[in-house]
Chain A
Amino acid sequence: MALSTVLETPGAGFNFENATRNAALEGLFGGGQTPKPLKTGTTIAGVVFKDGVVLGADTRATSSEVVADKMCAKIHYISPNIYCCGAGTAADTEKTTDLLSSNLSIFSLNSGRNPRVVMAVNILQDMLYRYHGQIGANLILGGVDCTGNHLYTVGPYGDINKVPYLAMGSGDLAALGILEDGFKHNLELEEAKELVRASIHAGIMSDLGSGNNTDICVITKQGVDYIRPYQESEYKDKRNIKYRYRPGTTPVLTEKVVTLKLEVVQEAVQKMDTA
């Protein structure tokens, strides 16, 4: 009975539209290895504090043993009052959060209200459950709405849980240790930011799949403070030469200008009816 423009549940059963396409793609590899989906070995964490929610994430995206992106953004925008951290398959988390964000902005425009965190969670749960774990997205959804400050976890099979603090990703156990030790209800802003920073740092130090910088996103009733990066890695490399060149570094030998001849083929005037 939701607004008709919000994500409509499709017909029953699985959607096999892409099955023939996938079979054709597999054929292209001639029986060899199909490319593995990019996983963001990750540490993400979230904490509910007195005035809102703090979300944190590392910024490393790995492609097997190579760091593919040193400044990857894992905290995704959902709506002005809701942000989502994603762990698991990079493409899945990216697309799922994009889809959710589009749906909620349509809802906002139609209803004139900011979406509630429970609504985002329900839409995600419905979608991920329908795909029975095939979408590898482990998400931490945090936000502030008229009913309070909320932090939810959504698993790839579509199970949800409402929690005061949380860590996910390959570095979750390291981060969880710090959170379990330091968490208290009704923390102040600076304490909460420090707790999340420390937990992501623990994940970065103890997990090979997590690393580089730490991003923090603070959501309160007043607004959102997305600090990227909050803490830079101590192990940044320094580039010794510059790769930018002044204009004029490459000498110009000759110059030729060719004007494009355009001729008017047809002209029609239509009067606007403002009666």
Chain B
Amino acid sequence: MEKHYTDSKVKGVSTGTTILAAVFDGGVVIGSDSRASIGGDYISSKTMNKVIQVHDRIFCGIAGSLADAQAVTKAAKSHLSFHSVQMESPPLVVAAASVLKDLCYKNKEELQAGFMTAGWDRKKGPQIYVVALGGMLLNQQVTIGGSGSTYIFGYVDAKYKPNMTREECVQFATNALALAMGRDNVSGGVAHLVVITEKEVEHVVVPGDKLPRFHDE
């Protein structure tokens, strides 16, 4: 597959991506596009789900090198499962984020992956934590990441309101992803959204032709 590889900073398959997460009243929405590419020229997967489940009510959005992200989330999943057996209760979202942060910080020389952990727990309700490339951990109400995020900072800053309803938040997330996919060449495909609340987890997939269209499309 070397012929597909160009001078990309990420070796192998990268998720040039748009990922996004937003807290609403009673839960959190985490979403991503579905394109995985090698070197920005070849799309190796049109339907990759970048929102990975690490526990019952905790999901992780991945960006960067696909191999690194999959290896880290696998290790985190195993660690969290063991942690929750020891504690005899579901892990807190901050615990999941810390596990990822530890892995990213301790191996920062070798790894090239960033994460966005979103979930619900009994102590603090819906939360989002960002774990950046070098291992920084930050708690936010709404956050975007990946190469496609640069095109939607304005939209997110203007349109996000705290305490939206579930429907408003899902619509906000879908619009934001559609706008980013429309401008970023390495983001595209379908929009994967996961809505996490105390009661349940719902996986919504919006196929490319059902995404919202804007004035120039």
- What is the interface of chain A, defined by CB distance below 8 A to chain B? 87-88, 122, 125, 129, 132-133, 138, 155-161, 163, 168, 170, 172
B11 in contact (CB, < 8 A): yes
Q: A158 and B70 in contact (CB under 8 A), knowing A133-B12, A163-B45?
A: yes
The reply to whether A161 and B45 form a contact with Cβ atoms under 8 Å apart is yes
Q: A129 and B45 in contact (CB under 8 A), knowing A88-B1, A155-B12, A159-B12?
A: no
Q: Which residue of B lies closest to A132 (CB)?
A: B110
The reply to whether B45 and A155 form a contact with Cβ atoms under 8 Å apart is no
List B residues 20-50 near A (Cβ within 8 Å). 36, 44-45, 47-48
| B110 neighbours in A (Cβ, 8 Å) | 132
The reply to whether A133 and B1 form a contact with Cβ atoms under 8 Å apart is no
How far is it, in angstroms, between the C-alpha of A88 and the C-alpha of B5 when the chains are bound?
14
The reply to whether B71 and A138 form a contact with Cβ atoms under 8 Å apart is no
Total A-B pairs, Cβ < 8 A: 47
B77 to chain A, nearest CB (A): 11
| B66 neighbours in A (Cβ, 8 Å) | 155, 157, 159
Q: Which residue of A lies closest to B69 (CB)?
A: A159
Of B3, B36, B45, B65, the most chain A CB neighbours within 10 A belong to B45
How far is it, in angstroms, between the C-alpha of A163 and the C-alpha of B3 when the chains are bound?
22
The 3 closest A-B pairs by CB, nearest first: A157-B12, A157-B67, A159-B66
The reply to whether B65 and A161 form a contact with Cβ atoms under 8 Å apart is no
The reply to whether A155 and B67 form a contact with Cβ atoms under 8 Å apart is yes
The reply to whether B48 and A158 form a contact with Cβ atoms under 8 Å apart is no
The reply to whether A156 and B12 form a contact with Cβ atoms under 8 Å apart is yes
How far is it, in angstroms, between the C-alpha of A163 and the C-alpha of B46 when the chains are bound?
10
The reply to whether B71 and A158 form a contact with Cβ atoms under 8 Å apart is yes
How far is it, in angstroms, between the C-alpha of A160 and the C-alpha of B49 when the chains are bound?
12
| A172 neighbours in B (Cβ, 8 Å) | 1
Partner of B48, one of A122, A156, A157, A161: A161
B13 in contact (CB, < 8 A): yes
A to B CB contacts below 8 Å, 28 in the list: A87-B1, A125-B71, A129-B67, A129-B71, A132-B110, A133-B11, A133-B12, A133-B67, A138-B1, A155-B13, A155-B66, A155-B67, A156-B1, A156-B12, A157-B11, A157-B13, A157-B65, A157-B66, A158-B70, A158-B71, A159-B36, A159-B65, A159-B66, A159-B70, A161-B44, A161-B48, A163-B47, A172-B1
